[in-house]
């Protein structure tokens, strides 16, 4: 299998590329059904010609590439929506109907605090392009409306508030909490990667959305990784300060818990 990953040097892309390489090289033996021949990495250093070449050969595509903090607000639509059009045009040119996973955002709901999100609008417009493409070509499209993510390699002061707090607290830097009671829905990067590998094996979990809430549904339009945590900004900061104060004497924590995953994330930012 030849796998194309756009945005391969981003938060999700880097983590997925590393896991795919482990599977390819036999270091990860938990996915015996996956045989990976090539991993095509497309990022900001690649040219559009390279994207076209990859699209002509790919057996599965993970599309993560997106602008999160552009200089001009119009760049959200120009770049995010524009790259999706480029990707799909290339696939049509080579009659490649391979499955595509698209990392959209919960901001595409345009509900509540996301009402005026230009980033959300660009993601919503991109979703519609994928759905129309799927209807036209019968290609399998997997659209994930991702919540806030956390885990290693998250970029502080960019696209992960958890990364921002982890980096600041671990390195004795100043930080600002904009509302301790503000609740976030968080998805751990390793849980996301496992969900994406399931999708690569044809075992994605489908869902439908009612506003910001999803409900699992085998024929759902969207896909999800139903292993998220709802916590407040205040709770996140309190846990991080506890880790800093107690390290390295932190008591044992259950493996598959938010607190353990947050600790693992925090430690990746400790000098």
pTM score, whole prediction? 0.94
CA distance 69 to 10: 13
Q: 147-187+214-271 has which CATH code?
A: 3.40.50.720
Phi/psi of residue 179, nearest 5 degrees: 95, 95
Phi/psi of residue 61, nearest 5 degrees: -125, 130
Q: Give the β-pairing of 2-6 and 38-42.
A: parallel
Q: Give the β-pairing of 148-150 and 222-224.
A: unpaired
Domain with CATH 3.40.50.720 in the chain: 1-146, 147-187+214-271
CA distance 30 to 28: 6
Give the pLDDT confidence score for residue 68 in this predicted structure.
66
Q: Is 73 helix (H, G, I), strand (E, B) or coil?
A: coil
pLDDT tens per residue across all 271 residues of the chain? 999 999 999 999 999 999 999 999 999 999 998 999 999 999 988 888 999 999 999 999 999 988 766 667 777 888 888 899 999 999 999 999 999 999 999 999 999 889 999 989 999 999 999 999 999 999 999 999 999 999 999 999 887 899 999 999 999 999 999 889 999 999 999 999 999 999 999 999 999 999 889 999 999 999 999 999 999 999 999 999 999 999 888 878 888 999 999 999 999 999 8
How large is the angle between the packed helices 233-246 and 258-267, nearest 10 degrees?
A: 60
**Residue 47 neighbours by CB under 8 Å, 6+ apart:** none
Give the pLDDT confidence score for residue 47 in this predicted structure.
86
Q: Is 22 helix (H, G, I), strand (E, B) or coil?
A: helix
Burial class (CB in 10 A: 0-12, 13-18, 19+), 256: exposed
CA distance 144 to 221: 10
Give the pLDDT confidence score for residue 70 in this predicted structure.
65
First to last CA, the chain: 38
Q: 1-146 has which CATH code?
A: 3.40.50.720
Give the pLDDT confidence score for residue 160 in this predicted structure.
87
Q: What is the CA radius of gyration of the chain?
A: 19
């Amino acid at each position: 299998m030849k796998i194309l990953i756009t945005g391969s040097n981003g938060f999700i892309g880097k983590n997925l590329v590393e896991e795919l390489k482990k599977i390819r090289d036999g270091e990860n033996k938990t996915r015996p059904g996956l045989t990976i021949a090539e991993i095509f990495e497309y990022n900001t250093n690649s040219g559009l010609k390279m994207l076209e070449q990859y699209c002509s050969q790919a057996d599965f595509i993970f599309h993560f590439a997106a602008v999160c903090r552009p200089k001009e607000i119009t760049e959200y639509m120009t770049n995010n929506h524009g790259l999706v059009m480029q990707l799909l045009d290339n696939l049509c040119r080579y009659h490649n109907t391979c499955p595509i996973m698209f990392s959209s955002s919960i901001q595409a709901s345009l509900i509540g605090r996301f009402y005026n999100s230009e980033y959300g609008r660009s993601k919503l417009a991109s979703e519609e392009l994928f759905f129309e493409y799927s209807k036209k070509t019968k290609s399998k499209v997997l659209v994930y409306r991702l919540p806030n993510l956390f885990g290693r390699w998250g970029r502080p002061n960019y696209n992960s508030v958890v990364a921002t707090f982890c980096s600041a607290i671990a390195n004795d830097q100043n930080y600002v909490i904009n509302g301790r009671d503000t609740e976030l829905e968080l998805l751990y990067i390793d849980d996301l990667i496992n969900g994406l590998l399931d999708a690569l094996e044809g075992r994605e979990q489908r869902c439908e959305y009612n506003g910001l809430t999803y409900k699992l549904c085998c024929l759902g339009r969207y896909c999800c990784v139903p292993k998220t945590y709802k916590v407040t900004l205040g709770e996140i900061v309190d846990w991080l300060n506890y880790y800093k104060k107690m390290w390295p004497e932190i008591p044992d924590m259950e493996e598959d818990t938010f607190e353990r995953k947050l600790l693992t994330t925090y430690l990746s930012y400790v000098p």
